[in-house]
Amino acid sequence: MTDPVIFWWVALSAVAVANLAAWAWSARTLHRRRSAMSVDEFRARRGLLVLSAAYVAGCAYRSFVPVYDIPRLSLVDGWFASALVGRTVATIAELCFVAQWALLLRQASRDTGTVLGGLASRWLVPMIVVAETCSWYAVLTTSNLGHVIEESLWGLCAALLVASLVACWPRCDLRLRPLLALWCIAGVAYVLFMFGVDVPMYWSRWLADEAGGRTYLSVAQGWTDASRWVVSHRWDDWKSEVVWMSLYFSAAVWLSIALVLLPWPRRSPALVLAHH
């Protein structure tokens, strides 16, 4: 195993352990704050906590057992390192992550009276169900075109989330606007990364496969093929995956944990008084 691969894998695993500890801390903190919350708020935050647990655990698993789906590569030797298992774990985790987005947006839209946020909260999960279907198609057939559509849908969902948060801005409590601004900045950065880096990467891979006359698998063939794994510790095999995996298994997980405790946009007290 080459030194860069060891360093990267150890770093991913260390971050995963820290993330699991951070989630446990957030769970304890939430229950300590329960008495200061309304029943509805605690129920919503508990839902965010449960969804976060699935996402944090899924990302930890994928950090301990990195898998590069289409070439069926893994750093670990074992049936649990197959693309089939890895994609199943990823699907569950990612659906829980976007469900967090939807739940947060539903609460924020209710508290601020924002129509766009309420509509968007209903669209996010179905959009990612389609994205996950495209991801499975890519993994089974080995066609990167499925990943192009998948990542484009994730980018569109993030853009929709940002637009909804911006719509909350005029109605949001002034004290919460700095946090809302940070959320919007993070969302814009994610959208720029997806459409500036991630989608073009998969698009270029698909074009290269097309130019090389690659023969794709059928879905049935892919189901059998994705059950295998090839152990590789070569940096050249993994370097294209390092950036997105490192960011995804760290920053995205931190966001998931933070959503459990951070304030969400609420209506300005002045608007509440005016309404009454």
Q: What is the pLDDT of residues 74-98, one digit of tens each?
A: 999 999 999 999 999 999 999 999 9
**Per-residue pLDDT at 134 exceeds 70:** yes
Q: For residue 1, how far is the Cα from the chain centroid?
A: 29
User: What are 67's strand-pairing partners?
Assistant: 74
| CA 243 – CA 107 distance, rounded (Å) | 33
Handedness of CA 4, 10, 14, 16 (dihedral sign): positive
User: For the chain, what percent of residues have pLDDT higher than 90?
Assistant: 82
Helix H or strand E encompassing 38:
none
> What per-residue confidence (pLDDT) applies to 122?
94
The chain-wide mean pLDDT, for the chain, equals 92
pLDDT score at 254? 96
260 near 105, Cβ under 8 Å? no
Give me the long-range contacts of 179-185 (CB less than 8 A, separation at least 24).
179/262, 179/263, 180/265
Contact assessment for residue 76 and residue 132, using Cβ atoms and an 8 Å cutoff: no
> Taking the model in full, what pTM does it have?
0.91
Residue 77 DSSP SS3: coil
Give CA separation, 165 vs 112, 123, 179, in Å: 10, 15, 11
Residue 23 above 70 pLDDT?
Answer: yes
What Cα–Cα distance (Å) separates residue 233 from each residue in 9, 73, 109, 201, 224?
Answer: 10, 9, 47, 22, 24
Which three-class secondary structure string do you get for 133-175? Answer: HHHHHHHHHCCCHHHHHHHHHHHHHHHHHHHHHHHHHHHECHH
Parse the chain into domains and list their residue ranges. Answer: 3-275
Report the C-alpha gap between 179 and 182 in whole angstroms: 5
pLDDT at residue number 276: 45
The span from the CA of 246 to the CA of 60, in Å, is 12
Q: What is the pLDDT of residues 96-127, one digit of tens each?
A: 999 999 998 998 888 888 899 899 999 999 99
Closest of 206, 220, 232, 225 to residue 84, by C-alpha = 225
User: Scanning the structure block, which residue is given the tokens 């933070």?
Assistant: 258
- C-alpha 170/C-alpha 167 separation (Å) is 7
- Percent of the chain residues topping a pLDDT of 70: 96
Q: What pLDDT was estimated at residue 272?
A: 46
pLDDT digits (tens, 9 = 90+) for 171-219: 888 888 998 899 899 999 999 999 999 999 999 999 999 999 999 999 9
Q: What pLDDT score was predicted for residue 274?
A: 45
Res 196: pLDDT: 96
Cα–Cα distances in angstroms (integers) from residue 79 to residues 5, 63, 66, 72, 166, in the given order: 21, 16, 13, 12, 45
Q: pLDDT band at 266, cuts 50/70/90?
A: confident
Residue 37 one-letter amino acid: M
Task: List Cα–Cα distances, 40 to 36, 46, 96, 107, 117, in angstroms.
Answer: 12, 10, 20, 10, 19
In the prediction, which pLDDT does 112 show? 87
Compute the distance between CA of residue 224 and CA of residue 245 in angstroms, rounded to an integer: 25
221 DSSP assignment: H
pLDDT tens-digit map of 40-87: 889 999 999 999 999 999 999 999 999 999 999 999 999 999 999 999
